[in-house]
Each structure stands twice: as C-alpha cells, then as structure tokens.
C-alpha cells in the first residue's frame, strides 16, 4: 500500500509539474542543454547547471548515468528517497536508491526563472525518477522480458493472421463480383456491374491495405511499450497518432463553415443553370424570342453561359475551400495555369473559330458543303471541329480553324424548300450545235430521278469558249433527301446515253495543224435533234 501510495503521489506530482515546465528539463533543449540533462530511457529527468570544483554539469550527468547502470534488481526494487544535506556551502538534496546515492541536486542547479524552491524541484525530480524506476526494474526481470517477447510474437502472429484474412476477403470479393457478372444476377444492373465491380474490388482492396497498416502500426506501438528500452518509442507513436487525429479533427471542424458556404454557392449556381436551361429550351423551340439569339445557336450559348457561371462560382468559392491559402494549393494552381497557357493556344484557336461558325450561322447541321477536297453532309458542328459525312460514308473531321481559314461552299444554303444544287459539265467541239448540246443536257436532266419538277427546264450555261471546244455546265436542283452522289452518278449516266443516241461524242478536240475546212455548224443544222426551232412544239 505504501508503495502504491508513493507511485500515486509521484504521478500526481508529475501531472501538476508538467504544465509548469519545471527548470530541470527543457522542452526544446539546445545541444548544450541536452548534454546537461539526465535521461532515463530517453525521458528527461533534470537539467544540472552547477559546477562543483572541476566537475562540470556534463561530467556530473555522465557520472549519474554510470551510477544508474551499476544498480542491481534489488536496488531498483526499493523506492527512492531524498536526504537534505549541505554540500559546497549550499543546501542540496541527495537522491538515494536502496541507500545508495544517485544524484545531488543543489540550489545552484535551479533556474531563477522557474520560481521553484529546492524542495519543490526535488519533488518533481523524484516523481519523474519514480516513474522510470519501474522500467529500470523491468529490465532486470527475466520473467517479465520473456513474457514481453512472447506477447510480441503473439501480437505479430495475430497481425499476420489479420493481414492474411484481409487478403482472403479481398479475393472473395473479386470472385463474388466475377460470379455476379457471369451469372448476370444481382441488385446492380449488368451494364453497371461491369464497371462498378472493378471499382468495388479495388476500393475494398485499398480498405484492407489501410486496415493492415493500422494493425501493424498499433502492434508496433504496443510491442515497443512492453520493453523498457523502447517504451519511449511506443509512447511517441501513441502521441504522434493522438496529435495527428487531433489535427485532423480540428482541421475538419474549422473547414466545415467554409465547406457549407461552398455548398451554398454551388447550389445557387446549379439553380441558376437550370433556370437558364429552361429559358434557352424555350428559345430553341421557337416559343420565346430574344434579340441576337437564334435557335441554332442555343446549344453553344448554353455551354458558354454554363462555363462562365461555373467559373464565376468557382472564383467566389475558392477562398472558402480548405487549404486555399496553402503553398501546395497555390503551386497546383500555378502548375495548371502554366499547362493551360502552354497547351491551349491551338485549342483556343479552334474554339474561337467554332464560335465564329456557330454564331455566324454559316453552316447548319444537315447542309451539303464542300471544303477543299471534302464534299458531304454536315453531321456535327462542335466547338473544336466540324464533322462531314462524305459520299463514301466516311466521317471527315475538319478543325474549325481550317474551316474558317479556307473556302466553304454550301450547296444547300440558297434553297428554302430544301434540296441541293447539282452541277456538272462537259466540253464539246465547235462542230456540234450549241442548241443541240443544250437540248441533250436538258433531256438527260429530265430523265434523272430525284430532280425537282422535271417539267421545269434545267439551267445550262456556256462557261467558256476555249480554243478548240466549248465548256458547258448543267445545273439542277435535287429533291430533299436525295443523295448527291447517287444523283450525280445517275445524271452522268443519262448524259452519256443521250449523247450516244444523237451521235454526239463527248470528247474535247485538240488540233496540231490548222484544219483544211473551217470547223463550224451550218445554219440548217443549228437545231439538230433533239433541239427544236422557236415556235415549233417539242417532239
């Protein structure tokens, strides 16, 4: 009972002394202060400052350390005592263990700034040494050390079994997800199971790794606390965990008001985006008209407004994000800003070109266009590129910067009723009456399916009077939905058939020498079939 009373008194004295930061040990000692401090199992006991004769404080610390090493198990099993003495003409307190002197604490060892009497300082030193005396006793106790080793091995086996069990459960989760996928059953739909199953397995594996690491960490702290020499390490691990959890808890609690403000900002932003979406959908349906906004530009306008609103919301919420003022957060911001600056030059060029295309309404989805060597139907006008479906049913992606910088021929823009203007040409020599060529081209157009109003005469032009032949052009308008490639193929076939029927060769003559007879058409042959003179009805 007396021993337990002494231990309780020592604990109480230590708890009362700790917040006062007594003179003996320093919380952040310098190298000199550390050399003058007495440590027992890495725990600071007292810092000596007095010099007695030729014995410096550092030499006194070394002498105390050697004295402690010379004690036996019987010595450390006895409680410490303090004997008041006078040494070197000043009051001092001599610490004894089993009647053997350990250390001398004099009035000169005290720091005036601590405002402690010699007896108060001695009681604090006694409390610290009593706490470490049990560790000194344990290091001489063979039975205790053997039991500690057995406990450590048993704990290691338990941790190994836990890690193995975590690994086995992870494998079972993987097999279960695979079985659910193969058997096509479970609460989660099969289309999602294929994606979510792998994520579930990896998340569960990560959780098991974290559980195993925590178990190893706890085992290390517990194992270190069993041995006198490593007990301070176990206490350090526990203190580090406590401080880490305390910092995490404080950080989370301090971040909650900012996160609440961020949540409110994003909820308001989401509500504004939904209102704008409702309004723009009405514009796209033609029910609401806004100046400068057309139905075909609603999609791009919605994206632009959404980006601007969300950027504004992010700018407003940024100061309230946890760690927004930290150097790491600022470094990440600078890094992403540098990436965007270096890598977005071409992207921004295409994006601005896309906005020019959309808001100029030069193209529409479904238009038949010709860009450079590409001719086909516009299937998509994106922010970065325009996609065209060619006659070969290929999808050609043209960057918007290329579209804007080049020449765009829209074959269907001038036809309000729909349909595409189809043009083709032939070159015929001067010995063939041009009226006959006009009539044959018109006849071929009327025989072609998919032409708007076959009774309406197609448009035939003489584009150029060349040296040896005339360049003719035939233009027709196709019915909506008629394929340009199919109609062109049919028209070319009918032109060949009609020219063959009337004995006119589609060939461009070239002369090396001057012909003996003039190449011309006699007046009586001006209206060769199928051409008809004015006033005569067509056959």
The rounded distance, in Å, linking the Cα atoms of 276 and 278 is 5
Q: How much is the pLDDT for 311? A: 83
Confidence band of 473 (pLDDT split at 50, 70, 90): very high
Do the beta carbons of residue 357 and residue 381 sit within 8 Å? Answer: yes
Give per-residue pLDDT as tens, 278-314: 887 777 777 766 665 666 666 667 777 788 888 888 8
CB neighbourhood size of 224 (10 A): 19
Q: What is the dihedral of CA 276, 281, 287, 293, to 10 degrees?
A: 70
Q: How much is the pLDDT for 441? A: 92
Q: How much is the pLDDT for 349? A: 63
Q: Which of 367, 337, 351, 347 is nearest to 480 (CA)?
A: 367
Higher pLDDT, 512 or 212: 212
Strands across the sheet containing 469-477: 421-429, 469-477, 459-465
Is the pLDDT confidence value at 405 over 50?
yes
Give per-residue pLDDT as tens, 108-142: 888 776 678 888 888 888 888 777 776 666 666 67
Q: How much is the pLDDT for 250? A: 83
Write out the two tokens for 214. 């925590």
Which residue carries 């922010």 as its tokens?
383
Q: How much is the pLDDT for 16? A: 36
Section 251-280 average pLDDT:
86
Q: Where are the beta strands (DSSP E) in 421-529?
A: 421-429, 459-465, 469-477
Confidence band of 353 (pLDDT split at 50, 70, 90): low
Q: How much is the pLDDT for 264? A: 92
Q: How much is the pLDDT for 306? A: 83
CA distances, 137 to each of 134, 223, 251, 492 (Å): 5, 18, 42, 110
The rounded distance, in Å, linking the Cα atoms of 506 and 470 is 11
Give per-residue pLDDT as tens, 58-89: 888 888 888 877 777 677 777 888 888 887 78
Is the pLDDT confidence value at 13 over 60?
no
Is the pLDDT confidence value at 9 over 50?
no
Sign of CA dihedral 297, 300, 305, 306: positive
The rounded distance, in Å, linking the Cα atoms of 69 and 451 is 113
Q: How much is the pLDDT for 343? A: 57
CA distances, 537 to each of 292, 435, 454, 531 (Å): 54, 15, 18, 10
The rounded distance, in Å, linking the Cα atoms of 273 and 302 is 9
The rounded distance, in Å, linking the Cα atoms of 132 and 260 is 49
Higher pLDDT, 324 or 264: 264
Is the pLDDT confidence value at 472 over 90?
yes
Confidence band of 340 (pLDDT split at 50, 70, 90): low
Section 429-448 average pLDDT:
89
Q: How much is the pLDDT for 160? A: 93
SS3 call for 85: strand
Q: With pLDDT > 90 as the criterion, what percentage of the chain qualifies?
A: 8
Q: Torsions phi, psi of 290, nearest 5?
A: -120, 140
Q: With pLDDT > 70 as the criterion, what percentage of the chain qualifies?
A: 74
**Region class of 176: left (phi > 0), else alpha (psi between -120 and 50), else beta:** alpha
The rounded distance, in Å, linking the Cα atoms of 440 and 450 is 18
Q: Torsions phi, psi of 475, nearest 5?
A: -125, 130
Higher pLDDT, 466 or 336: 466
Q: Which of 432, 523, 499 is nearest to 469 (CA)?
A: 432
Confidence band of 519 (pLDDT split at 50, 70, 90): confident
**Region class of 98: left (phi > 0), else alpha (psi between -120 and 50), else beta:** left
The rounded distance, in Å, linking the Cα atoms of 277 and 283 is 10
Higher pLDDT, 366 or 471: 471
Q: How much is the pLDDT for 18? A: 36
SS3 call for 424: strand
Is the pLDDT confidence value at 3 over 50?
no
Is the pLDDT confidence value at 20 over 70?
no
Do the beta carbons of residue 439 and residue 536 sit within 8 Å? Answer: no
Which residue carries 């930061």 as its tokens?
21
Write out the two tokens for 136. 């000194």
The rounded distance, in Å, linking the Cα atoms of 87 and 60 is 15
Section 364-381 average pLDDT:
77
Give per-residue pLDDT as tens, 489-504: 999 999 999 999 888 8
Q: What is the dihedral of CA 49, 52, 56, 62, to 10 degrees?
A: -90
Compute CA 164 distance to the chain's CA centroid, rounded to the nearest angstrom.
Answer: 33
Confidence band of 11 (pLDDT split at 50, 70, 90): very low
Tell me the H-state helices in 108-230.
118-139, 142-183, 190-226
Q: How much is the pLDDT for 355? A: 66
Is the pLDDT confidence value at 7 over 50?
no
Q: Which of 324, 305, 327 is nearest to 316 (CA)?
A: 324
Q: How much is the pLDDT for 161? A: 94
Q: How much is the pLDDT for 345? A: 57
Q: What is the mean pLDDT of the chain?
A: 77
Write out the two tokens for 510. 């070239």
Q: How much is the pLDDT for 138? A: 64
Do the beta carbons of residue 354 and residue 382 sit within 8 Å? Answer: yes
Is the pLDDT confidence value at 187 over 60?
yes
- End-to-end Cα distance, the chain: 138
């Amino acid at each position: 009972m007396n021993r337990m009373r002494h231990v309780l008194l020592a604990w109480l004295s230590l708890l009362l002394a700790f917040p006062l930061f007594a003179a003996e040990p320093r919380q952040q000692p310098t190298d000199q202060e550390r050399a003058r401090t007495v440590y027992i199992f890495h725990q600071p006991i007292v810092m000596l400052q007095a010099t007695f004769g030729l014995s410096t404080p550092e030499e006194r610390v070394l002498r105390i350390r050697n004295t402690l090493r010379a004690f036996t198990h019987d010595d450390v099993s006895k409680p410490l005592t303090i004997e008041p003495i006078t040494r070197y003409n000043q009051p001092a307190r001599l610490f004894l263990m089993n009647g053997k002197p350990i250390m001398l604490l004099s009035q000169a060892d005290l720091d005036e700034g601590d405002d402690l009497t010699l007896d108060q300082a001695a009681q604090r030193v006694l409390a610290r040494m009593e706490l470490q005396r049990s560790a000194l006793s344990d290091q001489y106790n063979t039975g205790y050390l053997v039991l500690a080793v057995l406990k450590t091995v048993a704990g290691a086996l338990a941790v190994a079994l836990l890690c193995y069990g975590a690994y086995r459960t992870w494998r079972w989760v993987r097999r279960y997800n695979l079985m659910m996928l193969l058997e096509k059953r479970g609460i989660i739909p099969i289309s999602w199971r294929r994606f979510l199953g792998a994520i579930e397995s990896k998340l569960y594996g990560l959780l098991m790794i974290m559980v195993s690491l925590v178990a190893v960490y706890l085992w290390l702290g517990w194992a270190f606390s069993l041995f006198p020499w490593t007990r301070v390490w176990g206490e350090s691990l526990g203190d580090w965990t406590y401080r880490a959890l305390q910092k995490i808890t404080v950080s989370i609690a301090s971040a909650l008001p900012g996160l609440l403000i961020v949540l409110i900002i994003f909820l308001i932003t989401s509500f504004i985006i939904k209102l704008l979406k409702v309004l723009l959908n009405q514009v796209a349906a033609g029910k609401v008209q806004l100046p400068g906004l057309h139905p075909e530009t609603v999609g791009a306008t919605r994206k632009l407004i959404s980006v601007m609103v969300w950027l504004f919301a992010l700018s407003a919420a940024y100061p309230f994000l946890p760690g927004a003022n930290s150097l790491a957060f600022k470094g990440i911001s600078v890094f992403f800003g540098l990436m965007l600056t270096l890598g977005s030059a071409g992207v921004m060029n295409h994006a601005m070109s896309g906005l020019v295309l959309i808001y100029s309404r030069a193209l529409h989805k479904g238009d038949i266009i010709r860009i450079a060597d590409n001719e086909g139907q516009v299937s998509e006008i994106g922010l970065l590129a325009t996609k065209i479906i060619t006659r070969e049913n290929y999808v050609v992606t043209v960057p918007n910067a290329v579209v804007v910088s080049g020449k765009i021929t829209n074959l269907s823009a001038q036809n309000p009723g729909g349909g595409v203007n189809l043009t083709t040409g032939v070159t015929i020599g001067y010995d063939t009456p041009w009226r006959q060529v006009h009539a044959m081209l018109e006849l071929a157009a009327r025989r072609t399916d998919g032409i708007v109003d076959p009774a309406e005469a197609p448009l035939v032009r003489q584009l150029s009077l060349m040296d040896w032949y005339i360049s003719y052009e035939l233009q027709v308008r196709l019915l909506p939905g008629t394929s340009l490639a199919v109609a062109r193929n049919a028209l070319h076939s009918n032109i060949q058939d009609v020219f063959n029927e009337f004995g006119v060769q589609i060939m461009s003559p070239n002369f090396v020498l001057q012909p003996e007879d003039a190449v011309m058409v006699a007046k009586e042959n001006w209206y060769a079939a199928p051409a008809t003179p004015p006033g005569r009805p067509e056959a």
